[in-house]
Chain A
C-alpha cells in the first residue's frame, strides 16, 4: 500500500516538474551548461576522429568519380563566374541608386566559423552543439548560418561551446518573406525535417518553387538570407491564411561547419532611411 502511494506521489511530482520545465524550455541552468562543457570536448574528439577517417577514405580510396566530378564542377564554375559578373553589375547599380535615394548602407555582418561537434540525442528535438562559446564572443540569440542559408540561432552558451536551435525544430520561428512578391509570414519548424511558412495571407499568390528569405524584422536574422523553397501550397476554403510547406536549402543531416553572425541586426529595417 505504501509502495503504491509512493509511486503515485512520485508520478504527480514528476508531472508537475516536467510541466514547469516544459514552459521554460529554452532557459538553461548552470548545471546544464556544466554538463555540456564536460561532454563536449569528448564529442569534439570523436567527431574529429570520424571526419579524419572519412577524409582518408575520400582522399585516397574514393577517387574513381573525381574526373567526372571535376568536369562538372568546371562547367558550374564557368556558369558561376558569368552569374557573378551579372551580380557585380547589379550591385554597382544598386549602390548608385541607394546613393541617389540617400539610403544608409547595409551593415556588413561579422561572422565566426564554428564546427558542429554534437547533434541532439532526441529525434523530436533539433539542436546541435558547436565548438565556440562565450570565450569566443558568442551570446544567446546570435544567428547561425551557412552559405546555403539560415541554420538557426544560439539558445545556450557555455564557456567554449554553444547549443543551436535549428529552424526545423517545431519551437523555432523566423520572420520571413517571399523573394518574388515580398509576401510575409513566419517560417516554423515542422515534422519530418521541413518547415512551414505560416501566417501567409490567402490573397498572396504563392507558387511552388518560390524562394523564402528572412525579412530581418524579428531583430535576430539579417535581412535577405535564404531559408528554403516552397514545395507545397494549400489554399483552404475558409480562413485568411494558406498552408505553405517549405523545404530548407540547408541539408541539416550533413551540416559540419557553420558561421555564427556575431553582429546581429538591432532591427530588420536597418538599411532603410
Chain B
C-alpha cells in the first residue's frame, strides 16, 4: 500500500513539475519538487521503503527531461544518501531545524546538478543557473518546504493507518 502511495506521489510531483510550474513560469525560481520528496524520504522514512521510490522518481524525471539519461537518477540517489547519512548526527525531530535542512538540501541538489553537467557530462555545457535562482530556490524551500513535508507526512500517516486497519481486520 505504501509503495502505491509513493509511486502515485512520484507521478503527481513529476506532472506538477512539468505542467503546473512552467505554466506559472516559476521553473527557474522554484525548487525541484521531486527533490524535496527525496529529502523527506531520506529524513523520515526507512531506507528499504525509500530507495526503490527514489530510483523510480529519478527514472521518471529523467525520462521527461531532454538531458542525458541518469542525471536526475544520480542526483536523487546521492541526495538521498547524503541526507540519510546526515540523520546520524542531526536531530531531525527538532522542527525548527527542518527549514534549514531543506534549504541546504536544495543547495546540495543544485550543486550536484552543476557538478554533473560541468564535469561528468561536459558535452551539455555549463548550465546557466544564476546564483540568484539558486538563492531564490533555497528561500522558497526554507519558507514552503516544511509545509510540503507536512503534506507528505499526512499522506503517509493516513496510508499507514489504512494499512494497519486492513491488517487488524484480517487478523480478527
Contacts and interface: CB of A to CB of B under 8 A. Distances in A.
Contacts, number: 130
Nearest to B14: A39
Given A15-B120, A21-B121, A39-B11, A121 B65 contact: yes
A16 B133 CA distance: 29
A223 to B, nearest CB: 26
Given A18-B121, A35-B63, A121 B18 contact: yes
Nearest to A192: B128
Contacts of B124: 22, 25, 124-125, 170-171
A118 interface: yes
Interface residues of B, number: 46
B60 A39 contact: yes
A122 to B, nearest CB: 5
Given A23-B123, A47-B19, A50-B19, A124 B129 contact: yes
A110 interface: no
A119 B22 CA distance: 7
Interface in A103-142: 117-127, 129
Interface residues of A, number: 43
Contacts of A117: 19
A122 B66 CA distance: 8
Given A15-B120, A170-B125, A171-B124, A43 B67 contact: no
Interface of A: 7, 14-15, 17-19, 21-23, 25, 29, 31-32, 35-36, 38-39, 42-43, 46-47, 50, 117-127, 129, 155, 163, 165, 169-171, 191-192, 253
